[in-house]
């Protein structure tokens, strides 16, 4: 079991302790609630069991197998299978950009990949980047790091989001020294 799987298992165990319910009981509550939207179900878990946002989100993804990681585990899908699904149809042209960014990350050191529904989460002790298709035919790269001044390329995000900064890439030429510097900074700050 890698560190990401261990962290996920610990979080799910802690959710059971906090709620006094087994995962199957919680899944049953969610499925019988009649709610369909992730945000509505998350709010129900927060209100009913006083879970924090992260725990409630994890629980909803687990119960609905909607986070990519749960779906991958259930289907034994490989990362390549998941990427083929994420980068299908009109998003297929973004796969070479994704691959090039991942090549730049690979040289930084060891990390784990947590597949989500429409992107990959890249983690060390915590998430340092997320990568997936964005809007307007661009690749979206979210980075977690502090202390960098935002600019036209490095867009600061509101507090409380999944990442502190976002970048959008539309060509291989944008994978340059500046981008590698941002990736390295996020990578190093996640340890």
DSSP for the chain, written as a single string: --HHHHHHHHHHHHHHHHHT--HHHHHHHHHHT---SHHHHHHHHHHHH---HHHHHHHHHHHHT-SSHHHHHHHT--HHHHHHHHT-GGGGGGHHHHHHHHHHHHTT---EEEE-SSSEEEESSSEEEEEEE-STT-EEEEE--SSPPP-SSSEE--TTSS-SEEEEE-SGGGSSHHHHHHHHHHHHHT-
Percent of the chain having pLDDT more than 90? 53
CATH 3.30.1460 boundaries in the chain: 79-189
Q: Range with the lowest mean pLDDT among 6-10, 21-25, 57-61?
A: 6-10
pLDDT value at position 116? Answer: 82
pLDDT bin (cut points 50, 70, 90) of residue 169 is: very high
pLDDT value at position 134? Answer: 92
pLDDT value at position 18? Answer: 92
User: What topology does CATH give the domain 79-189?
Assistant: Yope Regulator; Chain: A, (3.30.1460)
pLDDT value at position 178? Answer: 96
- Residue 3: pLDDT over 60: no
Q: Reading across the β-sheet that carries 165-169, which strands appear in turn?
A: 112-115, 120-123, 127-133, 139-143, 165-169, 155-156
What is the rounded average pLDDT for all residues in the chain?
A: 88
- Residue 70: pLDDT over 80: no
Q: Are 164 and 145 in contact (CB under 8 A)?
A: yes
């Amino acid at each position: 079991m890698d560190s990401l799987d261990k962290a996920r298992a610990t979080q799910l165990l802690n959710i059971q302790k906090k709620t006094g319910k087994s995962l199957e009981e919680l899944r049953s509550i969610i499925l019988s609630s009649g709610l369909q939207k992730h945000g509505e179900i998350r709010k129900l878990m927060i209100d009913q069991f006083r879970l924090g946002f992260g725990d409630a989100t994890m629980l909803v993804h687990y119960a609905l197998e909607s986070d990519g990681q749960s779906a991958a585990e259930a289907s034994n899908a490989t990362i390549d299978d998941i990427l083929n699904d994420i980068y299908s149809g009109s998003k297929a042209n973004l796969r070479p950009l994704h691959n090039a960014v991942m090549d730049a990350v690979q040289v930084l050191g060891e990390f784990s990949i947590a597949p989500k529904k429409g992107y990959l989460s890249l983690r060390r002790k915590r998430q340092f980047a997320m990568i997936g298709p964005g809007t307007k035919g661009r690749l979206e790269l979210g980075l977690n790091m502090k202390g960098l001044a935002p600019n036209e390329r490095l867009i600061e995000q509101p507090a409380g989001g999944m990442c502190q900064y976002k970048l959008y890439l539309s060509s291989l030429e944008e994978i340059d020294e500046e981008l590698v510097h941002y990736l390295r900074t996020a990578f190093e700050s996640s340890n």
